[in-house]
Chains A and B, each alone.
Chain A
Amino acid sequence: MAEKNYFIDGKIEPVFIGEQIAGHSKKHSIGAHAIFLGQVRADELDGKKVEAIEYSAYEEMANKAISKIREDAFAKWPLTCLHIYHSKGVVKVGEISLFVFVSAGHRTESMEAMQQIVEDLKHNVSIWKKEIMEDASANWVE
């Protein structure tokens, strides 16, 4: 079976996020959605501002790692749904690059799970980011 793909080319559109929320209205066992959005920040380095981040990944390995994060979360908390989307390629300052959507019966499990999932996404998935500065120079974030 082909590995599920969690990557989206470029920014994650706010409209897409809204559609995902609307898509859960028929799942009546859900009482709480936790939503985490990662947005590209205009950090400053040596007097230069970040203009965008270019994400790259070892996609096959990253997709497997994200599937594992989902499985672990479902094993640990009583979740109804868990959707994860991560950008690849260039995402400009102010745009969304990570969308995690956790749905459960109650708030506590949705928020506890979210905390763990976002930590795992940051540390355990083969994704790299290069900050593209306003003068077009680059800075790898590690």
Chain B
Amino acid sequence: MHIKILFFGSIGALTGKNEMVLDGVSGTDDLKNHLFKTWPDLKNYTFRFAVNQELIEENRALKDGDVVAIMPPFAGG
């Protein structure tokens, strides 16, 4: 199962990458824990997930081929 993870804004700067592929994450809560283990400082960041470009509020189960964006607060204009 491949999940593509995209990092944006300050979080891309923290992780040092724009994207990565993860195996074996069942949902966004699971993904969050995985990310916190890899980058503990991420706990100090405000961010939301978008799964396949849809903003989500609660845990969302993930399936093969899903694209999850990790997004800090928007700052357009």
With both chains docked as a complex, state the minimum distance between the C-beta of A36 and any C-beta of chain B, in angstroms: 9
Known: A127-B76, A128-B10, A140-B9. A58 touches B69 (CB 8 A): yes
Q: Does B13 contact A (CB under 8 A)?
A: yes
Q: Does A64 contact B (CB under 8 A)?
A: yes
Question: Which A residues, 72 to 130, have Cβ-Cβ distances below 8 Å to chain B?
Answer: 86, 97-98, 118, 121-130
Number of chain A residues whose Cβ lies closer than 8 Å to a Cβ of chain B: 25
With both chains docked as a complex, state the minimum distance between the C-beta of B72 and any C-beta of chain A, in angstroms: 5
Q: Mark B10-54, 1 if CB is under 8 A from A, else 0.
A: 101100000000000000000000000000000000100010010
CA distance A138 to B9 in the complex (A): 12
A129 near B75 with CB under 8 A, answer yes
Q: Does A60 contact B (CB under 8 A)?
A: yes
- Checking A56, A86, A124 against B9 with a beta-carbon cut-off of 8 angstroms, the contacting residue is A56
CA distance A141 to B69 in the complex (A): 18
Contacts of B72 in A (CB 8 A): 128, 140, 142
Chain A, residue nearest B47 (CB): A142
B76 near A86 with CB under 8 A, answer yes
18 A-B pairs in the complex with CB atoms less than 8 angstroms apart: A56-B8, A56-B12, A58-B71, A61-B50, A62-B76, A122-B74, A123-B74, A126-B74, A127-B74, A127-B77, A128-B10, A138-B13, A140-B10, A140-B72, A141-B75, A142-B10, A142-B46, A142-B75
Report which A residues bind B (CB closer than 8 A). 38, 56, 58, 60-62, 64, 86, 97-98, 118, 121-130, 138, 140-142
Known: A58-B6, A127-B76. 12 other contacts (CB 8 A): A58-B69, A60-B53, A64-B53, A86-B76, A97-B77, A122-B74, A122-B77, A125-B76, A126-B69, A127-B75, A128-B72, A142-B72
